[in-house]
């Protein structure tokens, strides 16, 4: 394993999953700005993505751990399937904007559905510069969720 590059390791992992699940997808691995991204291109990738992205998130976590073991340090690894990550980000940003608008209009906190740590971080960052709302997380995994509250000056 030590003689493989990070990209080769990720390619091998995703290819094995693709073959085992009989997805018939094409595996692409690229590196940009220090992030190693593995993408599956194909149709019918719902099994790989999983319910609420649980499977693809697990594959990403395992891939990141495998690469970290190879190189001896943490490395940002992203696993995607036919633009799922971008679509999910857009949906989360829409939800966050609606929750922020509702919080400001009603003067009350709005709780979003449970999300993964990465999704909560994305929403925190998305709303951070808005100025009229604050965000914080509540609850315990797997039901941890984000709360959007109007700021005191709103």
The residue-averaged pLDDT of 67-92 equals 92
What does the pLDDT look like over 18-67, one tens digit per residue?
A: 999 999 999 999 999 999 999 999 999 999 999 889 899 999 999 999 99
CA atoms within 13 A on the CB side of 23: 25
Q: What is the CATH number of domain 87-150?
A: 3.30.1370.50
Domain with CATH 3.30.300.20 in the chain: 6-82
**Per the structure block, which two tokens stand in for 65?**
């751990």
106: which 2 tokens? 């009603």
pLDDT at 2: 44
Count of other CB atoms within 10 angstroms of residue 81: 24
* Range 23-36 burial, b when 16+ CB lie within 10 A, else e: bebebebeeeeeeb
For residue 92, give every residue at least 6 positions away whose Cβ sits within 8 Å of its Cβ, in sequence order, or none.
115, 119, 122, 123, 126
pLDDT of residue 1: 40
State pLDDT tens for residues 92-124.
999 999 999 999 999 999 999 999 888 999 999
Residue 154 has pLDDT above 70, yes or no: no
Domain with CATH 3.30.1370.50 in the chain: 87-150
Q: Tell whether the model's pLDDT for residue 3 goes beyond 80.
A: no
Q: What distance in Å separates the CA atoms of residue 79 and residue 61, rounded to the nearest whole number?
A: 9
Place of tokens 């997380």: 137
pLDDT confidence band for 153 (50 / 70 / 90): low
CA separation (Å) from 62 to 10, 17, 33, 36, 49? 10, 12, 21, 14, 14
Q: Which CATH class is domain 6-82?
A: alpha beta
pLDDT attached to residue 118: 87
Give the predicted TM-score (pTM) of the model.
0.82
* pLDDT reported for residue 75: 87
């Amino acid at each position: 394993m030590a003689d493989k590059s990070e990209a080769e390791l990720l390619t091998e992992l995703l290819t094995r999953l693709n073959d085992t699940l009989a997805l018939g997808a094409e595996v692409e691995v690229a590196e940009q700005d220090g992030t190693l991204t593995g993408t599956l291109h194909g149709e019918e990738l719902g099994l790989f993505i999983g319910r609420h992205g649980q499977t693809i998130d697990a594959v990403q976590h395992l891939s990141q751990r495998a690469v970290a073991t190879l190189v001896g340090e943490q490395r940002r690894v992203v696993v995607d399937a036919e633009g799922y990550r971008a679509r999910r980000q857009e949906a989360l940003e829409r939800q966050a904007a609606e929750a922020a608008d509702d919080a400001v209009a009603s003067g009350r906190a709005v709780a979003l559905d449970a999300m993964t740590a990465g999704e909560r971080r994305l929403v925190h960052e998305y709303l951070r510069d808005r100025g009229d709302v604050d965000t914080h997380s509540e609850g315990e995994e797997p039901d941890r969720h984000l709360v959007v509250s109007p700021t005191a000056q709103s």
